[in-house]
Structure 1
């Protein structure tokens, strides 16, 4: 017999087992529909997050709309065998068993935590998706939200958040001549030709003729994020990547979506940026457009300006249309057409320029578990650049036209890449071809009368091969070895001159030039724990002179710079070593770097007259840049985020046998100290506040270190408020304290932009 107490215990166990079996029976029933909302730690909706069911016989996927909502319908799955996975860029991966979620009332509220520094995915450092924590190089990312909360209306001004990013003469693309928009990183020296490569989805944005960058070519509403790789990267990207790579990654529309941002401010500064797109079955389409205009301001310092000085205004328009087709999980093919037009006034009535660029590009990505992944990019670019030059009287009351230039150019290229993972090894190999044709057709004037016609130009053809291995020797050690071979030649180059008064034509052909470069890299990363990582790299890099440097002369103010068809490629040897520390919401990263550039191209002074300084592009003997780089990121609680950066760059000329007087001088356009800090604050109610500040020590605008640009400090403010989930209003103030800092000395002092105040609206629509 069973006693009363034993009977009660057995009865309780039987009842509990029945409840469990009943619960399991309920859970194991087919689930027809699930829905929920994905939010960040501040309670703001997360748009575009991938929501998927994973597990045995669990195949369902969708994306969240602009309100963070998702819905999966018509499901026939067993909840016991499934888990819900939410993946969003910039956030840590969320995973939870579906049987646990079913105990809650729908719609489910899912909160995502910010991704740790180590978990962020990048593609620029290794040409394939990789965790940032596994990258032994100096790489920073700017997310879409970080770009939206900056007061800067142009991309180049937004990138000044990064210590080490610099343009020629501290100029902003709002008002500066585009030929002064060469970008450099980490103190290698800024010039009209960039020493850093700028890409948009893997396609070069650097001007094919001159190497400078048109920062408005990619509409801001279409930008998903930007990755900035500091340090030589010719091992993977070839010429122009001497100082690093800046890659702009654009948005893809996975469902019908529209984003519109518009603003207006003083100096009649207006901006409108649009992104619209969607996907139907396997086809997707995306349209992006942006218009910008500003009356600008007078560039010349108030104490030196005269009646001839006028505001340097600009207008530009960019258009981009992309069509793509996906092949399930096996790959994608896309076609893209873009147009960019720009008109500028350069500060006097006779000095103007304009640009028109048309580009076609496309690509295909194909994945296979057996053969690996293949990626092909191809592009075709045609453009025309027009500019006029003048000589301004010493009293700045009048000017005379001296030269009118037209520079047509065409470029085409293709990049083929293969990659495959083998156990602990990943292999990457590829090839790249490129050809550029360009000319400078000039009409020279004296006393406003045409005196001669000069046409100069040529072609440049490049072929490259590269290979990379990423070896995970253990869970703590990653070693990367890369090598790239580039060979190029300059040919069909000549100068034709016609003296109009005598009707005499002379033709001067230039000798065909061939060069080659080998760019190896060896990097290692050691991670003894989740918090600490140590890394080191050694590398070589190069930069081939552009057709502009070889064949086109130009004049800015009282400075005439002559071309040089005998220029040779710059060669860099360098290395870096550093460490990072990660803990919860705090990340600190520091690196020591060193590099020497043989034969750097510089504008060397060859004569000085009362109203004219003549320089020529020449290969110096050798320059050296060494210093310290420091980056800090801190998420202070759930509302605050603070980022800071510091760069110490000691850049000097260490050898120039042709002119020993330049040895020991500072490299022009490189500040010894740069400092940046950004603070962002956000609340669940939809209020956002951000402040950015940057400071720079003095630098020089010339090779002889005679024209000093004084130190400066500026601060920007941004505030936004969501009126509804789809509508946000914002205000932005750039250069809050109205600092009139030095931008250039030609030798007339030119100054930076005054305070700019804008008010704007941002509209976001998306289908559920």
Structure 2
């Protein structure tokens, strides 16, 4: 049957047909069937005041891409380049929404955070495609509900729950030795207890992550480099209880690992080990009252190494490990929420909630001698914690006089950051230079107002205004690191950013399809960003001397440069504001029972409006293409088969805000074919980059050595069996 909701993803093909090609659904009728749980109150899709997209499991199965991040890159408003997460450094596996920058969007798995506690990146490896039931993507400021990370919006990945006592096996294999296998076992013991045990393993030999084309080649390919191989695994136990007729509860336990060669040196692997726990209850107190309580904990061990190739001396051209990092960190959080449906006094529903979260982390950086001896030439160490406390309230009201719905919300957050220990030291950690870091704190109010006006039975008009905040990640406040060409220093004195924004939109639906358009305006004050210290600025020179333990000028290489053996020193600050404005358009049309088309367009203009560093104002930010376009067509030739084709276009962009490193426009075509062999077995074949286009994908960086080649042609085949 054709998916009931898959068509709400307008940049990918409609859902594939398993049993019989049914007439296209009437979207005006089906909208109220879709409930967006990421709103914390279960809001029907046709009542959303923010631009929202739903990806169903059927839609995901119709996508040519094999990882959830690469599927999301086709959604309007999302900036994820054409390099899958497993080919990126673990510290760069993030998401950028509406050009606001990486780490400013909340990602949830079953309602609990998937943002890495230390780096603020997204742990895409924790959830394989075969385990995903649906994805909810709500754009815009959602800090009134979620607090931190709520600037760009919220992405909630819903995984599958036990349906019956059955087994499921899914496997695929393709180009570059990329393979994936996922197994699950469902046990439905009774109405009061169900269990799902799942495990998955993914590995790839990888394609060349560094560009092999102009302008970075051939000098960017160093001796000792290879392709960026990676592997990750997960095991997950989910328990669902019903202790009383009115209470549902869950308990989840998980463990995952990820290993990769993010610098392309086989001698310098990275390893992440993550254990997590989550539990909660949902109790229906009365027909119109309910409570929710959740608690979660995650412990991570991150061992990172970086490689390089010697450029001089007797070891010239020989690869060596130039640094290693040890980052243990954990997060503990809990939340409670009360929801009541009133339908009286002009208020239909209200929510009250409270939550708290603690992050504790440390970072040890050992910088090693370039002769490959393994001798530690300098040490950076930092240890600290951040705490988040929030209280929220939300009211929903629907007018009886005019077809207008209003949602008013507000959240008060209190954030603290303590860094009791931070020092830079010389060889083997001797002569540590301690920094006295004052504790930081901030109280932030995040209000929001959303309006939905039903102009006609087919046309809705939306408007929303909001304020949001985002705290600096501990990667920015604790972790300092260096390379042959640059040093990047943490700033423990960073404070949260504040965003004010609004958006206007419209949804038009007809029996065979619909169209959506949204315009947005977001302004971020005290934005966290890294900038290069200026050798001609006395304040920057003094700061570089302090950071590098130098008496000379580390920015020019004159005199005693301390631990900074290069001329580039970068430092994180809050000394910039940015403005992001744009338009998002989505469209779907069922032509008949055999054909469906989709398209999406994003225009984004993001620039600094004030800056006390070296980056120019009024210039499009690096890593944010102004124009992106997606289209898709799906053909159902038989009741048990589908063929999907997608086109992904990215316009001209720059890697840097100074516009020294351009990235040409490119377009990529993908194909996916599905066939239902039996009721319980299906097979598929997919092609990413059908024409094997060689191109540079958009990225954010400050040197030509950071140009990245996009995904080459990759053919994969797979099967899924349930029994």
Name the TM tier (shorter chain). 0.7 to 0.9
Contact map agreement 2:242 2:248 (CA 8 A) in 1: yes
Give 2:44's aligned residue: 131
Q: Flag the 1:709–1:560 CA change in 2: closer, same or farther, 3 A.
A: farther
- Is 1:470–2:387 an aligned residue pair? no
Contact map agreement 2:382 2:419 (CA 8 A) in 1: no
Give 2:580's aligned residue: 625
Structure 1 unaligned residues grouped into runs of 5+: 1-39, 47-87, 93-108
Give 1:642's aligned residue: 597
Count of aligned pairs between the two proteins: 660
CA RMSD, 1 decimal = 2.4
Aligned partner of 1:517 among 441, 444, 448: 444
The alpha carbon displacement at 1:119 in A equals 2.2
C-alpha separation in 2, matches of 1:489 and 1:458 = 11
The alpha carbon displacement at 1:605 in A equals 2.0
Aligned partner of 2:464 among 537, 556, 567: 537
Aligned partner of 1:755 among 706, 713, 722: 713
Q: Flag the 1:564–1:697 CA change in 2: closer, same or farther, 3 A.
A: same
Q: Which runs of 4+ in 1 moved over 4 A?
A: 88-92, 109-113, 393-396, 607-612
Give 2:518's aligned residue: 591
SS at structure 1 position matched to 2:464 = strand
Moved more, 144-153 or 110-119: 110-119
C-alpha separation in 1, matches of 2:583 and 2:5 = 30
1:651-699 deviation line (CA, Å, top 9, x unaligned): 111111444x511222221110111122223355311111222111122
The alpha carbon displacement at 1:498 in A equals 4.4
Contact map agreement 2:292 2:338 (CA 8 A) in 1: yes
The alpha carbon displacement at 1:604 in A equals 1.2
Aligned partner of 2:138 among 223, 229, 240: 229
Structure 2 unaligned residues grouped into runs of 5+: 9-19, 535-554, 558-565
Aligned partner of 1:435 among 343, 358, 371: 358
SS at structure 2 position matched to 1:267 = helix
Contact map agreement 2:641 2:676 (CA 8 A) in 1: yes
Q: Flag the 1:581–1:390 CA change in 2: closer, same or farther, 3 A.
A: same
Give 1:29's aligned residue: none
C-alpha separation in 2, matches of 1:237 and 1:115 = 33
Contact map agreement 1:90 1:114 (CA 8 A) in 2: no
Give 1:560's aligned residue: 487
- Is 1:406–2:314 an aligned residue pair? no
In the TM superposition, 1:95-106 aligns within 5 A as: none
Contact map agreement 2:135 2:156 (CA 8 A) in 1: yes
Give 1:160's aligned residue: 73
C-alpha separation in 1, matches of 2:689 and 2:429 = 54
Give 2:540's aligned residue: none
Q: Flag the 1:144–1:329 CA change in 2: closer, same or farther, 3 A.
A: farther
Aligned partner of 1:295 among 191, 205, 210: 205
SS at structure 1 position matched to 2:176 = coil
C-alpha separation in 1, matches of 2:427 and 2:7 = 66
Give 2:299's aligned residue: 382
C-alpha separation in 2, matches of 1:505 and 1:653 = 37
Work out which structure has the larger RCO, using CA pairs closer than 8 Å and 6 or more positions apart in sequence: 2
Contact map agreement 1:298 1:309 (CA 8 A) in 2: no
State the structure with more CA Rg: 1
C-alpha separation in 2, matches of 1:707 and 1:612 = 20
TM-score, normalization by structure 2: 0.87
The alpha carbon displacement at 1:483 in A equals 0.3
The alpha carbon displacement at 1:120 in A equals 3.9
Contact map agreement 1:421 1:427 (CA 8 A) in 2: yes
In the TM superposition, 1:11-160 aligns within 5 A as: 40=1, 114=25, 116=27, 118-124=31-37, 126-160=39-73
- Is 1:184–2:96 an aligned residue pair? yes
SS at structure 1 position matched to 2:69 = helix
Give 1:15's aligned residue: none
Q: Flag the 1:348–1:557 CA change in 2: closer, same or farther, 3 A.
A: farther
Q: Flag the 1:180–1:492 CA change in 2: closer, same or farther, 3 A.
A: closer
Contact map agreement 1:625 1:649 (CA 8 A) in 2: yes
Q: Flag the 1:113–1:275 CA change in 2: closer, same or farther, 3 A.
A: farther
C-alpha separation in 2, matches of 1:360 and 1:706 = 46
Moved more, 403-412 or 605-614: 605-614
Q: Flag the 1:642–1:265 CA change in 2: closer, same or farther, 3 A.
A: same
C-alpha separation in 2, matches of 1:654 and 1:317 = 43
SS at structure 2 position matched to 1:148 = helix
Give 1:312's aligned residue: 228
Aligned partner of 2:171 among 247, 256, 262: 262
